[in-house]
Structure formats: structure tokens, C-alpha cells
A and B are shown apart, each in its own frame.
Chain A
Amino acid sequence: MKKIEINILLFVLIEAFFLLYGIHTNLINILIGTILGLILTLVFSKLKKYTIMKYFLLIITIILLFSVTIKISLFITHNLLKNYSVFLVIISLLIINFFLIKNNYHGFIKSVELIFYFFILIKIISLVLVIPNINLEYFNINLLEELNPNTNIIFIALIILYLHQSIYYLCDYILDKKIYIISIINPIIMKLLAITIIGRTLFNLYKYPYVNILKSIKYLNFFERMEGILSFEYLFSFITLLAFLLLIIKSIIKKTVNYL
């Protein structure tokens, strides 16, 4: 596998985890958590050859799969398919992802790379349309509260460790520090941008503040009500994460069965 493909996958997965679990966490938690995650990754990289790590990974992946599937379905029914059955969304998501990972992981990672360029285009369009709504008044209010660390640091570090261990399990991979730093800076910039648009209080109140920011796009009575299309960037990262989790489970079970 090419280095760029794996690093794109890592970037998308970190964004997906952040959007699902880390939206309301403080900026200092993200910074310290990711540094700690990097240290843990370097330490644990020597342990991948032990079988117990494989089963530990399987258990965590199954737990994450349940949680991620439900969270993604709730995101879709809350923002895109309103008043729709969550159960049907879960089934549709799982079936689509089973087909995505049907073959080996090479095809999946290549697809992620191709869609990523479209994803970047949508991200740039969203940024361009959203930046004029920045209100610098909000930049000063309660920003010091972002510097209060708490136990989320450990959660973030463990997620980073889990991602790296899973990718190491799939294929040989060398950590690219530049991409790693960009994938950490991305959530920090997103959060700062969101706070300067809607304020910290509203940001903490909304369940999906990044979609609420997209609702603020309104120009010339034409560029408005675009949050459905522009939230595709989030949907793409979520589906990639779900497919990745299924892929890890499939790989572990397949290798265990072959071994037996």
C-alpha cells in the first residue's frame, strides 16, 4: 500500500472519531491526548506480534462498532432523513458497508483515497461560505475554559493508539508525522471556527454544532439551505470509519480461521 493512501485513511478516521465522540472536548485535551497517543503508539508498536493483542483489538472493535453504528444512524435521522426509522438506517448502513469490504482492504483504501479529493473540495466550499459569518466577539468569551484539561485526554490517547494498532494489523505502515499533525490540527481549527461563528455556549448546547454552522450559510437568496449537501463530508468520514471497523473484524476472524 502506498503511504499516501494509508495516511488519507488515518486523517479521515481521526476526523470521524473526533466528530462522533470529541465534539465538546476542550482544545487542550485534543493537544495533550494526541501527544500521549503518539507516545503510546511508539511503545505498543513492538507488541503487535503477540496474539493477545489481536483478540483485544477484536473486542474493542466490536464494542466500537455498536456505538459508532448507532451514533451515525442518529446523526442521519437527526440531520438528513428526519423522522425516519433509525432501525432502517442501521440496516442500510451495515449492508452498504458489508459490500464495501467484501473484497480485500486494498480496494477499500483506494476508494477512500479517490473520494477524499471530493471531500476536500466540499470542505473548502464549506469553509469559504462559512468564514464570512465569523464574529470575533465570540473569540474572547470563555476561551480560557478550553484550557482546562480533564480525563478525555486518556480517551483521545487510547483512540489514537487503537487506530494505529488497527492499521498496523492490516498492513505494514510507517507513521507520517506531517499527516499526523495535520489530522490533529484539523479538529482544532474546526472547533475554533465553530466557536467564532455561533459562540461557545451555543456550541456546547447543540448536539451537532458543525451542521448548525452550515445552516448559517445564506447569500443572495440563492446559497442557502445547503447543509444537507455540505454535511456529506461528515457522512463520508463516518461511513469510512464504519467500514474500517468491519474490515478489522473481518481480517481478524479470517486470519484466526485460516490459522485454525
Chain B
Amino acid sequence: MKKLFLLIFILFITGCMNYTELNDLAIIKSIGIEYNHDYFIYAEIMEDIDKDNIPKTKVIKASGKNMDELFNNIKLLVNKEIYLDHIDLLILDENLNKENFDEIIIYFLNYQELRNDFYTIIGNNIENILNNAKYDEIEKMIINNNLKIIKISFEEIISKYLDHKIFNLSKIIYNDGIQFDGNYQYRNNKLERINHEKN
């Protein structure tokens, strides 16, 4: 009798309560965040695979007064659950100030499913960058040792920012193609360009 009870119990408590169909998930690959009186986010969402086996993505734009509202608005736009566990890249606007950084860091630290091990770079005109970059083009640029792009994860940035408010990261721009625009240091709440020798 006890074994039967235990068997029934195990069969029905198998952790399917939080199951979500893959089609109901918006898997976000890259994110770009800007601030201009409001937060703007550009999320590159995975769609499906085309004939040549290359994944297709689309870029969604949303705005909000804070980070919570931002991600809620994306969820409303795509009508799916946002899935941030597969983020590969975060592009931050070069004009973000200290309050923006603090808010972004607090949001990403508290987001349970996020790993914070994705690459982070800065850029301007993020919408153009994400709309015109091919699949994985920016990640391949970062991994390419010839370009001397700083490979830094968001977790390292958080750690360095919280410890002594100084960290280095690279910048990309869109100018007839995605281009590397040098390395910068965040110090005294602003970004300053650094030479390659000082990396």
C-alpha cells in the first residue's frame, strides 16, 4: 500500500508545472540597450532555420521607463515568454550614464535564469548594427585574435564595476558593415578611448 502510494506520488510530481513549449519561447540571442530619456532595447530573437541551415533572426525594438517595463514590453510585442538563458552578446550604448549602468546591472543580477557569461561591447546606432549583422558575425569578430577586441563577459564587468568602477571594453560601429572602433575604458563614470598598447 505504501509502495503504491509512493509510486503514484512520484508519477504525478515530476516537475512539469513550469513546462513551456519551444514555440512559446522567444529565445533572445543578442540584446542592445540605449537610453535617451527612456530605455530602448533591441532584441535579436531566434526564428527558424532557412534552406542553407543558417538560423534566421529578427530584431525587435521596445522602449520603457525602466528595465522591468522594457522586458515586459518585448514580451507583449512578441506574445511569447522571454528566454534569456541563451544570450551571446550584449551591446551597450556608449552614452549610458552611471544610473543606467546601475539599473541594468541590478536587473541582470536579479534575473534568475540569466548566466551573465555573454560578451559585452559598446556601440552606437545599435539598431543598425543588429539589423545588418549576419548571424554570429559580431561574436566571430570578438573571438578573432587579430582584431584585439577585448573579450569580456558581463559578469566580469559587474565584478570590476562593483569593486573599483573601472573596466575595459571594445566598441563597434556600423559603417557599410560592422567595424571595430577601438577599445575604451570606463572610469570616473565615463568612457575614455585607450590605445591598443594599454589593453
Contact = CB atoms under 8 A, between A and B. Distances in A.
A81 B18 contact: yes
B22 interface: no
B117 A215 contact: yes
A141 B163 CA distance: 8
B85 to A, nearest CB: 8
A146 to B, nearest CB: 15
Interface string A178-198: 000000000000000000001
Interface string B1-26: 01000100100010101100000000
A82 B111 CA distance: 12
A201 interface: yes
A201 B162 CA distance: 7
B158 A202 contact: yes
Give the size range of A's interface with the partner: 20 to 34
Among B17, B113, B159: residue with most chain A CB under 10 A: B159
B112 A84 contact: no
Contacts of B13: 88, 92
B117 A216 contact: yes
A199 B115 contact: no
Contacts of A215: 115, 117
B139 interface: no
A95 interface: yes
Given A202-B162, A215-B117, A218-B117, A84 B6 contact: no
List 7 A-B pairs, minimum CB-CB distance, nearest first: A83-B18, A199-B159, A201-B162, A202-B159, A81-B15, A215-B115, A201-B163
